[in-house]
């Protein structure tokens, strides 16, 4: 693994500042400056070679997409890493970008390309060749804005969204500093130490150093592996050490890792490194590093977020640091290329609906990452036979070698679906992740930001779908508020959506069949066509079987439950409450239909309502309902914007709200809030038919309400 360190000169004391643009400094030694004529000639050649459509292949590089950058974040042929992404220019990700108005815009460099052009920076020919070899054509904004500051010896805190290139932001200038003063002495002690919170992220950072600075001696240190090869690397001599805090501390305390020559100390994913659980170890290592080095090394911290607790560390160890923030005051703290969707789904239906979501939004040929809260959930979901894609699991209990193998299979496309805990939320260098699924809202918004950041990287578009239970509405709103995003509420994929996606996958599978094989199937195909009566029906049957869609199972668009259908009632007058819905249905439909209604949700504008009915009642409803001039009842094909609901408890969801104890807060033991078991239960059972009064008392009367009005 390679990292670069550079000594902080006494006359290079940085001053605390918010940096809005790159600081130019051309004083770095051993750099070949090109004449203006050479630069002009190079630009002319570059323009001629550009096609009208710029395409670029990328792994999971980090792309800058802040305000002024979003229009062209995908133009470059390279995807830049951040602390959790690696660039793979040989991959097939393609992104076509059309610049604003005129036809010649395709021939012009974007503003980000101009500002980040490699010619603008004191980058050695050696590093430039390595960058271009791996597809880097220019620096993204966070890289451009920090390069000269780091080269000048400043302590830096860099903040950028996931997918904007944070890894290269610190790796490139540090590598340049090391190359400017090479040391090949055997047994030399490292000049650069990079700490990362996870093994996967440490490995990714190390690979980035190897790509850009292959001549530097580097290693990657983390737990779960043998100590001896790591000690041997220390004895042979290193320029850069990258690792996780626990194993690094072991080597420091044993004396195997000595930091007497340390010049650069980097914390990647600083928000995670300085939170409870890590901060004590990290601060101890910082103190030991400063003590061993005899002077404070240049400190570089990068993160996608900046929680308040980071500021105390900055004040203590980096009192004169500079801040480079490409997010600024924008509300949206997530990657701007990500579409955020939310799907309400009860726990018992979750695994099946997740399988449908993966099929519709990613399919058999896309890449999907599914995040669970626990290792047990990850294991259970991976064993879910409704997931058609081959699945690998990634969490802390999986052996390190198996984790690395799973990640490699996912990178190579041999496995299309990865189920993981937060161990994979940071540092996963995967190209072209089309879909991220979060099984429930995470406990903290930073986790949501990092999870969703696995897609929509390097200018590509991506989709993140967050599942939530009815009692997690408030958690979802909190994520919206703190992440600065707005979820689009969607329903579970419907049979037509699933079959359409399955057919699309099946036809792509047919493309892989070679012509020399077809001759062996022609006789059977002809017989099947004759049996079916026409070729279209025969091929449709074959595609249905290939895709596994031989039967249709319906589920509610509203609740995601199988065997139910969501209906949409619209009116020309405002609906004041759910009682109106029961009254209308009771007037137009048989009693058994009215009593089977569940989960009524009013539209936000109160001009309609959505609710579930058993799919088995479809014929009864069709035979008995007739639209009126101001009342219309249809099967819901798309969820309208619905009113937010408050306070769901166990009884509220499990037994449709008021029935057997739903009431106001869904309290199993009582009516409105504290009506007692007798009140809640009696009133609930009385429900619509008895007004919640008989046997319910005050608690039942107020808490029972209508029998099935809510879940």
Q: Which of 260, 293, 325 is the last residue of a domain?
A: 325
Q: What is the pLDDT of residues 172-202, one digit of tens each?
A: 999 999 999 999 999 999 999 999 988 888 9
Q: Is residue 61 part of a domain?
A: no
pLDDT of residue 547: 66
pLDDT of residue 551: 64
Rounded distance between C-alpha atoms, residue 518 and residue 527, angstroms: 15
Q: Give the CATH number for residue 626.
A: 3.30.70.2280
Rounded distance between C-alpha atoms, residue 56 and residue 76, angstroms: 6
Rounded distance between C-alpha atoms, residue 562 and residue 612, angstroms: 11
The length of the chain is 711
Between 71-75, 104-108, 149-153, 617-621, the lowest mean confidence (pLDDT) is in 71-75
Beta bridge partners of 69: none
Is residue 532's pLDDT more than 70? Answer: yes
* CA distances for 666 relative to 521, 661, 673, 674, angstroms: 60, 6, 8, 11
Rounded distance between C-alpha atoms, residue 669 and residue 545, angstroms: 49
Taking residues 326-335, report their average pLDDT. 69
How many Cα atoms are found within 13 Å in the side-chain-facing hemisphere of 558?
26
Q: Give the CATH number for residue 167.
A: 3.40.50.300
Tell me which residue of 643, 658, 666 sits closest to 696, measured CA to CA: 658
Task: Provide the pLDDT confidence category of residue 276 given band limits of 50, 70 and 90.
Answer: low
Same domain, yes or no: 295 and 174:
yes
Same domain, yes or no: 526 and 603:
no
Q: Is residue 7 part of a domain?
A: no
Rounded distance between C-alpha atoms, residue 28 and residue 3, angstroms: 18
Of 148 and 698, the structure prediction assigns the larger pLDDT to 148
Tell me which residue of 711, 677, 709 sits closest to 696, measured CA to CA: 677
Task: Provide the pLDDT confidence category of residue 618 given band limits of 50, 70 and 90.
Answer: very high
Residue pair 60/429 in contact by the 8 Å Cβ criterion: yes
Tell me which residue of 225, 432, 449, 235 sits closest to 332, measured CA to CA: 449
How many Cα atoms are found within 13 Å in the side-chain-facing hemisphere of 610?
21
Tally Cβ neighbours within 10 Å of residue 278: 18
Tell me which residue of 250, 198, 653 sits closest to 471, measured CA to CA: 653
pLDDT of residue 257: 94
Same domain, yes or no: 432 and 525:
no
Task: Provide the pLDDT confidence category of residue 102 given band limits of 50, 70 and 90.
Answer: very low
Is residue 212's pLDDT more than 90? Answer: yes
Of 243 and 89, the structure prediction assigns the larger pLDDT to 243
* CA distances for 320 relative to 16, 171, 218, 310, 663, angstroms: 5, 22, 29, 15, 57
Same domain, yes or no: 344 and 264:
no
Rounded distance between C-alpha atoms, residue 301 and residue 166, angstroms: 10
pLDDT of residue 500: 83
Q: For residue 636, give both structure tokens.
A: 């819901």
Same domain, yes or no: 315 and 445:
no
DSSP state at residue 262: -
Same domain, yes or no: 375 and 267:
no
pLDDT of residue 283: 84
Q: What is the pLDDT of residues 22-43, one digit of tens each?
A: 333 433 334 444 444 454 454 4
Q: What is the pLDDT of residues 277-308, one digit of tens each?
A: 678 888 888 888 888 888 889 999 998 877 77
For residue 375, give the 3-state DSSP assignment.
Answer: helix
* CA distances for 527 relative to 389, 512, 539, 542, 547, angstroms: 32, 23, 12, 13, 22
Angle formed at CA 113 by CA 107 and CA 194, multiple of 5 degrees: 150
pLDDT of residue 274: 82
Q: Is residue 375 part of a domain?
A: yes
Q: Which of 263, 294, 325 is the last residue of a domain?
A: 325
Same domain, yes or no: 295 and 150:
yes
Rounded distance between C-alpha atoms, residue 112 and residue 21, angstroms: 12
Same domain, yes or no: 541 and 576:
no
Same domain, yes or no: 147 and 295:
yes
Q: Is residue 155 part of a domain?
A: yes
Q: What is the pLDDT of residues 632-668, one digit of tens each?
A: 999 998 889 888 775 444 333 333 433 333 333 333 3
Q: Is residue 51 part of a domain?
A: no
Q: Is residue 104 part of a domain?
A: no
Q: Is residue 589 part of a domain?
A: yes
DSSP state at residue 109: P
| Enclosing domain of residue 123 | 113-325
Same domain, yes or no: 150 and 238:
yes
Task: Provide the pLDDT confidence category of residue 549 given band limits of 50, 70 and 90.
Answer: low
Predicted TM-score of the model (pTM): 0.54
Of 135 and 124, the structure prediction assigns the larger pLDDT to 124
Structural domain tally of the chain? 4
Of 14 and 199, the structure prediction assigns the larger pLDDT to 199
Contacts 24+ apart (CB under 8 A), 313-320: 313/274, 313/279, 313/283, 314/157, 317/286, 317/290, 318/155, 318/157, 319/16, 320/13, 320/14, 320/15, 320/16, 320/155
Highest mean pLDDT: which range of 11-20, 599-608, 702-711: 599-608
Task: Provide the pLDDT confidence category of residue 427 given band limits of 50, 70 and 90.
Answer: low
Rounded distance between C-alpha atoms, residue 644 and residue 604, angstroms: 8
Same domain, yes or no: 483 and 438:
yes
Q: Is residue 53 part of a domain?
A: no
Going by DSSP bridges, is the β-strand pair 240-243/218-221 parallel, antiparallel, or unpaired?
parallel
Q: Which of 601, 635, 669 is the last residue of a domain?
A: 635
Mean pLDDT (the chain, rounded)? 75
* Three-state SS sequence of 192-204: EEEECCCHHHHHH
Same domain, yes or no: 342 and 321:
no
């Amino acid at each position: 693994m390679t990292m670069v360190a550079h000594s902080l000169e006494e006359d290079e004391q940085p001053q605390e500042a918010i940096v809005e643009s790159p600081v130019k400094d051309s004083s770095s030694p051993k750099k070949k400056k090109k004449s203006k004529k050479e630069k002009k000639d190079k630009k002319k050649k570059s323009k001629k070679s550009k096609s009208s459509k710029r395409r670029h292949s990328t792994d999971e590089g980090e792309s800058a997409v802040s305000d002024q950058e979003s229009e062209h974040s995908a133009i470059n042929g390279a995807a830049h890493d951040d602390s959790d992404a690696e660039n793979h220019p040989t991959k097939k990700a393609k992104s076509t970008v059309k610049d604003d108005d005129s036809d010649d815009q395709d021939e012009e460099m974007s503003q980000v390309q101009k500002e980040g052009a490699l010619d603008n920076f004191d980058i050695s020919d050696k590093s430039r060749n390595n960058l271009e070899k791996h597809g880097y054509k220019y620096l993204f904004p966070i890289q451009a804005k920090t390069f000269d500051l780091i080269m000048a010896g400043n302590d830096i805190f860099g903040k950028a969204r996931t997918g904007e290139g944070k890894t290269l932001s610190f790796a490139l200038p540090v590598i340049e500093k090391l190359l400017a003063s090479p040391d090949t002495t055997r047994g030399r002690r490292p000049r650069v130490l990079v700490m990362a919170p996870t093994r996967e992220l440490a490995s990714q950072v190390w690979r980035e150093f190897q790509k850009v600075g292959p001549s530097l001696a580097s290693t990657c240190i983390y737990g779960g592996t043998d100590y001896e090869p790591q000690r041997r690397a220390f004895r042979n001599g290193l320029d850069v050490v990258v690792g996780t805090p626990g194993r690094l501390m072991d080597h420091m305390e044993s004396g195997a890792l000595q930091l007497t020559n340390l010049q650069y100390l980097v914390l990647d994913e600083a928000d995670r490194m300085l939170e409870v659980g890590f901060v004590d170890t990290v601060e101890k290592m910082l103190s030991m590093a400063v003590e061993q080095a005899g002077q404070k090394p240049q400190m570089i911290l990068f993160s996608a977020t900046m929680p308040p607790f980071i500021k105390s560390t900055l004040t203590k160890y980096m009192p004169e640091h500079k801040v480079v923030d490409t997010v600024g005051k924008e509300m949206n703290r997530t990657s701007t290329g990500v579409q955020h969707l939310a799907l309400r789904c009860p726990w018992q239906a979750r695994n099946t609906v997740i399988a449908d979501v993966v099929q519709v939004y990613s399919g058999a040929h896309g890449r999907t990452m599914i995040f669970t809260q626990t290792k047990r959930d990850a294991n259970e979901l991976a064993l879910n036979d409704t997931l058609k894609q081959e699945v690998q699991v990634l969490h802390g209990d999986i052996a390190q070698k198996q984790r690395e193998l799973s990640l490699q299979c996912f990178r190579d496309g041999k496995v299309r679906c990865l189920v993981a805990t937060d161990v994979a939320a940071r540092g996963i260098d995967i190209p072209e992740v089309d879909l991220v699924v979060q099984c429930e809202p995470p406990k903290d918004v930073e986790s949501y930001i990092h999870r969703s950041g696995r897609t929509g990287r390097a200018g590509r578009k991506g989709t993140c779908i967050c599942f939530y239970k009815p009692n997690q509405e408030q958690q979802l709103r909190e994520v919206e508020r703190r992440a600065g995003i707005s979820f689009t509420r969607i329903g579970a994929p419907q049979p037509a959506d699933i079959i359409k996606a399955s057919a699309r996958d099946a036809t792509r599978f047919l493309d892989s069949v070679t012509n020399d094989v077809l001759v062996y199937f022609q006789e059977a195909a002809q017989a099947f066509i004759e049996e079916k009566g026409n070729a279209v029906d025969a091929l449709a049957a074959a595609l249905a079987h290939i895709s596994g869609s031989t039967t249709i199972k319906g589920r509610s668009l509203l609740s995601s439950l199988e065997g139910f259908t969501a209906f949409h009632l619209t009116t020309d007058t405002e609906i004041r409450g759910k009682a109106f819905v029961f009254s209308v249905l009771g007037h137009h439909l048989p009693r058994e239909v009215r009593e089977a209604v569940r989960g009524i949700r009013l539209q936000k504008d109160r001009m309609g309502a959505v609710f579930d009915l058993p799919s088995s009642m479809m014929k009864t409803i069709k035979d008995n309902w007739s639209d009126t001039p101001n009342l219309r009842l249809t099967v819901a094909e798309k969820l309208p914007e619905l009113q937010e609901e408050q306070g769901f408890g166990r009884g509220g969801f499990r037994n449709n709200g008021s029935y057997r104890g739903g009431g106001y807060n869904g309290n199993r033991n009582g009516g409105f809030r504290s009506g007692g078991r007798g009140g809640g239960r009696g009133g609930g059972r009385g429900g619509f038919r008895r007004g919640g009064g008989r046997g319910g008392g005050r608690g039942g009367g107020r808490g029972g309400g209508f029998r099935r009005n809510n879940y």
